[in-house]
Structure 1
Amino acid sequence: MAGRNKISFHKNAIVQALFVTFLWSSSWVFIKVGLQGQGLPPLTFAGLRYFLGFLFLLPFVLKQDSSKIKELSGRQWWELLGLGFIMYAATQGAQFLSLAHFPAVLITLILNFTPIVVALLSLILLRESASLKQVIGIGVCLLGSALYFIPHLQQDVGWTWLLLIPVIGMLANAGAAISGRAINRKEHLSPRVVTIISMGFGSVILLVAGLLTEQMPILGVKQILIVLWLAGINTAFAFTLWNHTLRTLSSVESSVINNTMMIQIAVLAVIFLGERLSVLDVVALVIASAGALLVQLGRRVETK
């Protein structure tokens, strides 16, 4: 009986984790819609989403972890604030700016390089050696990306310099992953504490930067609903549910499930945003996604 309950809990955790990745993937559609026309400016949009998400989470974290927050040292505060800057201000700021200029599929393909950069940075900064599976995964990911980019670059050379924005976002995302792993590896801090402090600080930077550099947003009913949904459901609720699934799922299982987002985003972009994918594009995305998964699995298995 206990064995059946364990299997049931595991299946439920898988379904819940897949649901979270669907929510996160749908965020790209909501962001693109919110940015359209005279919609929300990208930095202000990002700041509103994560600052409201921070406010939604704050009461629960203070109720459960207020004593842990009070015990933080000065060095720990600086590390968490630094994580907030790179994870939210830099990564999310670049992502929202990128989605204002590029198709969602292209941005997620660039972000797909994150595990490769993480593996390289881990080798340099954390002295974690690369496995054979990671090396093969890097090659496969590069092949898939080349299959996607080469035809598009031949068609549209004029916008290539703007690719610096999503590339910066990808590098920031990789840096956030390294920083987060380093903090969790040596500090043993509660994930809720890490999330609330980093999200709060990073979202304030985004919001202030947006209000100083962009026009005041025109918030119609559609924009308000999108921001509230992204903050409440796709941020506060989704992060909480994801952390809950991590109590049951292994790191390898979580990596595999999280890696499905690339395909989910591509499908949602075609259905809801009208983005077009050729057969070669689909093949390239699948190959690149498989390569990124190999890199993640190689790291997870080796450091487990």
Structure 2
Amino acid sequence: MTSRSHIKAVLQALFVTLLWSTSWVLVKIGLKASLPAITFAGLRYFIAFLCLLPFILLNPAQRKGLRGLSRAAWGQLALLGLLFYTLTQGAQFAALAFLPAATLSLLLNFSPIFIALASGLLKDESPSLIQWGGILLTTAGAVVYFLPLTLPAGQGIGLWIALICVLANSASSLLGRRVNHQSGLSPILVTAISMGIGGLLLLMIGATTQGFGKLDLTQWLIIAWLALVNTAVAFTLWNNTLKTLTAVESSILNGTMLPQIALLAWLFLDEPLSARQILGILLVGIGTLIVQLWRQLPAVARSTS
């Protein structure tokens, strides 16, 4: 029975990664249909927050947790919303307007490296020799992917926006881990509050600077699907898998998104990859996986000893 439940959790997690990977395709389709990038991101995450809200307001335990939030907790959740939704997701949508999906996905895979380096500085624990090997392998993969270093028009701007996205994503991951471990709040409460604050701010910035454009039925369907299925439902399913899967297993399954996004972009967005770029993606994927696994394996060993 345990084996069956574990297989079910693995398949469910893979399904969630597929949903998240299709988000990149849907976002690119929306952007090509002239959806303003920041407004698009704001609509997705604020509507997703509205979808999660009933699960908090109709649950006595969640309402109690909400009422018991201290001013410091509200401040941390607001900062998390600013970093992960307003900055990270806003920059991701904006970067996708300039870069191929596979390129941005590859760059975002550098987040675990920044997290490992920052964790080493904050906790006075430098990366292990194996992790340094993973970092070098990831860097080599990026060099292979981008060689020769000539960028099509407009992609230079996209790379700068992507850098903001990677840094904000790394910072939000560190803060998110701290909030989840120290606040005592449920994952849905942390996600919903930070998403509501960050998504609303993102929507206000987009509406003020870019407007809403001309949203037709297809564009509204894309926004609704991204908000309801690929965000609210996917989040719920992923959290359910965390009850069964180890941190290492979750990292490995989450790492499958890099090739998934590249394949989906080739199939649906006409963004083909050369053999050199495929090799670069593989090297980056293996390198970041090494960095993540060797950060989490000691914790797993301690918890099972």
TM over 0.5: yes
3-state SS of paired residue (1:154): coil
Question: Are 2:72 and 1:75 aligned?
Answer: yes
TM-score normalised to structure 2 length: 0.95
Tell me the secondary structure at the aligned position of residue 58 of structure 2: helix
1:109 aligns with 2:106: yes
- In structure 1, stretches of 5+ residues that fail to align are none
- Higher mean C-alpha deviation, range 91-100 or range 62-71: 62-71
Distance 1:87 1:126, change over 3 A: farther
Conserved? CA contact 2:39–2:206, under 8 Å: yes
Secondary structure of the equivalent of 2:245? coil
The counterpart of 1:297, out of the listed 272, 276, 293, is 293
The aligned amino acid for 2:166 is M
Give the distance between the partners of 1:22 and 1:114, measured in 2 at CA: 20
Aligned pair partner of 1:54 in 49, 58, 83? 49
Equivalent residue, structure 2, for 1:6: 2
Q: Is the 8 A contact 2:98 2:154 kept in 1?
A: no
Aligned to 1:146: 143
Match of 1:167 among 163, 166, 171: 163
Deviations 1:152-173 (A, max 9, x none): x235477424411011001000
Residues in 1 aligned to 2:275 and 2:224: alpha-carbon distance in whole angstroms: 36
Residue 225 (structure 1) aligned to one of 193, 215, 221: 221
Q: Say yes or no: does 1:63 pair with 2:24.
A: no
The range that moved more, 275-284 or 119-128, is 119-128
- Residue 279 of structure 2 aligns with an amino acid whose one-letter code is V
The Cα of 1:221 is off from its aligned counterpart by 1.1
8 Å Cα contact 2:77/2:193 also seen in 1: yes
Cα 1:126–1:192 change in 2 (3 A) is: farther
Across the aligned residues of Structure 1 and Structure 2, the Cα RMSD in angstroms comes to 1.3
Asked if the contact 1:131–1:302 (Cα under 8 Å) also holds between the matched residues in 2, the reply is no
2:200 equivalent to 1:204:
yes
Return the alpha-carbon distance in structure 2 between the equivalents of residues 185 and 63 of structure 1.
Answer: 25
**Alpha-carbon deviation of 1:128?**
4.0
Give 1:180 shift.
Answer: 0.7
Counterparts of 1:273 and 1:158 in 2: how far apart (Å)? 18
Q: Distance in 2 between matches of 1:285 and 1:275?
A: 14
Q: Supply the distance in 2 between the matched residues of 1:75 and 1:208 (Cα, whole angstroms).
A: 24
Residue deviations 1:189-226 (CA, integer Å, cap 9, x gap): 21111101100000001100000000332111110100
Residues 87-137 of structure 1 show CA distances to partners (whole Å, capped at 9, x for unaligned) of: 000000000000111110110011010000000111122444422332111
Match of 2:269 among 253, 273, 288: 273
Q: CA deviation at 1:26?
A: 0.2
The offset of 1:188, in angstroms, is 2.4
| Alignment partner of 2:15 out of 12, 19, 31 | 19
Amino acid at match of 1:54: F
- Indicate whether 1:99 and 2:96 are aligned: yes
How many residue pairs get aligned? The number is 298
1:126 and 1:91 mapped to 2: Cα distance? 24
Runs of 5+ in structure 2 lacking a partner? Answer: 301-305
Aligned partner of 1:135 in structure 2 is 132
TM-score, normalised relative to structure 1: 0.95
SS at match of 2:273: coil
Moved more, 123-132 or 252-261: 123-132
Residues 72 and 158 of structure 1: CA distance in aligned 2, closer, same or farther (over 3 Å): closer
